Amino acid sequence: MESSESRVFVTIPEAQRRTGLGRRQFEKAIRRGDLGVFDIGDWPRVRWRDVLAWLDSTRRSAAE
């Protein structure tokens, strides 16, 4: 079984599914530059470790 950290890049729909967040949240993060998008294959992809870091930073911001 493949761990989530072993996949370096994931599609945005896959990141949405793994995090439970909606498309708009990802679109806003991409527009703000919080997440970089990479054109790999047929789907734009995000680096999974960047998604985790972004989630961590939004949680810290909400706790303050």
pLDDT in tens, 15-60: 999 999 999 999 999 999 999 999 998 889 999 999 999 999 988 7
Q: For the chain, which residues make up each domain, given as ranges?
A: 4-63
CA 11 – CA 34 distance, rounded (Å): 16
Question: Looking at residue 59, what is its pLDDT?
Answer: 82
| Predicted confidence band of residue 3 (pLDDT cuts 50, 70, 90) | low
Q: Can you say how many angstroms the Cα of residue 26 is from the centroid of all Cα atoms in its chain?
A: 7
50 contacts 35 by C-beta, under 8 angstroms: yes
What is the reported pTM?
A: 0.79
